[in-house]
A and B are shown apart, each in its own frame.
Chain A
């Protein structure tokens, strides 16, 4: 080697992804401890597990948490695991420990937020769990809709629009059917079906534009979203405004036996039908995608359509069917807003849930289980916001509402890494 060749300068401290998370954890730890510092040592927070509907005690005892002590311990844990990861130990054993520490922080985070928010008061855990799940419903179902579409290689940013169409037409159907001789349950069932079909029909428009005419899929989706706002508010003004528009919500169903389980039975197994459909769709999407012929072909078409074509698979037909199914699932999510949650239709009532569903799909790495988990986190965020407003904390609520999102972002960016979408997503398939 020539005389010029000197040993390269080593950078002593690299800023890695893990170190950023570590710093973030330490900051959170300091924040939590500061919170504890401003608190009376005697403060006790009570977590209750009462029935959310009747308020009756569930028979499971309340949990009393000495708040200041708890927060101090958790804060210390955050700082410790942050410091631990900042060092970035090389030995496997230490690495494993740092992963355990970080996971522990992740698990403790949500209870800590609840306890810190309710400090000195009592809060009903059952309600929080049930509300989180309930608010996650349209997000999770919407995310499954996205998975059906994108796994086949078609971007679907029109979930929002499909939901809105479904919410509108489902409710319109109920609006007209409720005054007929049909029993309410039948009318509601028909209304949900019409909502689902409306989603499917709009999806066909998406397919027509993006598969047949190879329009840019983002443009096609945007067109549908804009169209949805216009058409649905027109329908509302024209047909729904005249009367005091409001109809009965879908009724609760209690699953026999399971609904008798303490706490969980009340939080989960007594609920409305679309809520239960979320779990059905979760299982359905997961099984179809990973255990059936259709799922295998769908994934192949979304990853490498030409390879699928050389094996005799009809790429565009596969995409058409997936887009249609996706639309119907999005329709179900839309029906949740008007038929299950409110029993009415308002302009833009989906308020961006379709986009949050997309985010959940991406956070979940295009897998149904992951998307479901992400949707739950978003649902929790929303319910927490509502909760905090009710408790009336002296901290800007918006910031507290933000925290779970920020944590999600950091944790996902740190641990799960860059999400990689199906490779052929967004590309129309052109047979040479």
Chain B
């Protein structure tokens, strides 16, 4: 059988941003009815390339061909007309509008100036049935779970008769079961002749669903691969440029005394709605308790409450047996708690401070670094030089502004600051989000080192693989509650996945802690 005809080709695409070569002479070919995987680390240039194809940026060099014809795409409008649809990593949906309004936006059916919602609605119901998307056209976007919002995005593309669909990191926000569902929908799309570009940094998924793979590294094509004769390891080394250890090596945990005890904790979110609803658990020295769950199920609020950054509405928590409910962040820090916050740029660093000052944000007031009201910059620099070396921060100069570092190195600065203090309890929230494989490896090793040195570690992550490979016990959060706490031996992907979706299997009750 001859290969299917190409529907979309990029030839020699180059895009420069001030000081950065985001895309360097990239070429790729998408064939009809196929899935092309686009693999690369964060910052490898995947999203830039897709935004170029979708017309949100203009390429500096190179050309794009659709169905063999060279085209000029100067805006998303052109891309839409050429039959290109894109599901962005951050959904482009207007929360306060209904599904129908979101889908018809920009492409409204009208009579005179007036909207014909009924026409759009009918078409959405048709599409929804044809592809098994199961979306209520009258629901408000803000009421829908992310999995459904993603399907609304797909409907938006289909509504505009897209036959080339770009999915940018579509599985990042989904539970394993939802991912299954998405793959099924993709199957239905392929059957009807839609071609898909699937962007991901999850190797398993790429291998499973793609017909061809292009790997990007530092803005350039690092190689092409055929999923049939690739392995996770071969793709990973292509993506990173060297061999990577994918599995985390660790010894069995040796839990000691209880260090953190949370009792029936209730916390409200920014809007004043309950986010954590009656969470109780204990954490011991020398163990890692992983908190799994789809983002937005109360993990953020739980961590902020434990760090003293958010008021507790009800319930208490104890650190080393002392009631710390309502204590200030400083008191909690002094109690021996290290906190790696979820949003490193917002809460972890002061971007406009130097690395050296960022490294003492939680200790600057101590005698080692300040005398009465004067800080001792010499001691601070000394401390920084040592930490930068130990934690392999690059570039290793201490006078760079934190905001100028790459994400991975920013995170290393935070980890260096929090892990180097004399801690007994570590709270790490999404410690490796958006980092490259190398930094992830490094940070994972550090977390295990802290555990082995006798710290209790609370690891909150929406990357299920991360939780499963690091944790000794796994707590699953859903809608503000802990569904279950499983010892790692009982926590397989399917069990945890179901819990993440709020489905509790009754018979397996003995796994609770």
Contact = CB atoms under 8 A, between A and B. Distances in A.
A283 to B, nearest CB: 14
A8 interface: yes
B109 to A, nearest CB: 9
A312 B321 contact: no
B54 A310 contact: yes
A379 to B, nearest CB: 29
B316 interface: yes
Contacts of B102: 307
Contact of B113 (A5, A294, A308): A294
Contact of A310 (B88, B110, B318): B88
Contacts of B382: none
Of B106, B314, B318, most A-chain CB atoms within 10 Å: B106
Given A4-B321, A8-B264, A310-B54, A293 B88 contact: no
Interface string A62-89: 0000000000000000000000000000
B77 A292 contact: no
Contacts of B76: 309-312
Of A4, A291, A307, A431, most B-chain CB atoms within 10 Å: A307
B130 interface: no
The number of chain A residues touching the other chain, given as a range, is: 20 to 34
A1 B115 contact: no
Contacts of A8: 263-264, 314-316
Interface string B159-170: 000000000000
A296 interface: yes
Nearest to A294: B113
B94 interface: yes
A139 B80 CA distance: 43
A426 B184 CA distance: 42
A303 B114 contact: no
A249 interface: no
Contacts of A308: 94, 105-106
A291 B97 contact: no
Contacts of B88: 310
Interface in A19-67: none
Given A297-B106, A432-B56, A432-B57, A304 B93 contact: yes
A296 B117 CA distance: 11
A319 to B, nearest CB: 16
Nearest to B57: A432
B370 interface: no
A423 B258 CA distance: 44
Contacts, number: 94
A300 interface: yes
Q: At the interface, is chain B mostly helix, strand, loop or mixed? A: mixed
Given A292-B114, A308-B105, A311-B107, A423 B264 contact: no
A147 to B, nearest CB: 15
A313 B92 CA distance: 13
Interface string B50-91: 010010110000000000000000011100100000101000
Interface in A355-387: none
A296 B108 contact: yes
B95 interface: yes
B280 A1 contact: yes
A2 B93 CA distance: 46
Contacts of B80: 311-312
B95 A310 contact: no
Interface in A304-348: 304, 306-313
Contacts of A291: 114-115
B95 A300 contact: no
Given A1-B263, A8-B314, A297-B106, A312 B77 contact: yes
A2 B107 contact: no
Contacts of B94: 299-300, 303-304, 307-308
Contact of B105 (A5, A10, A297, A423): A297
Given A304-B93, A307-B92, 4 more contacts: A4-B263, A5-B261, A311-B107, A313-B106
Interface of B: 51, 54, 56-57, 75-77, 80, 86, 88, 92-97, 101-102, 104-108, 110, 113-115, 156, 258, 261, 263-264, 280, 282, 314-316, 318, 321
4 nearest CB pairs, A to B: A311-B106, A312-B77, A307-B92, A293-B108
15 contacts: A2-B282, A5-B280, A8-B316, A292-B113, A296-B105, A296-B108, A297-B106, A299-B94, A303-B95, A304-B95, A307-B102, A310-B56, A311-B80, A311-B156, A432-B57
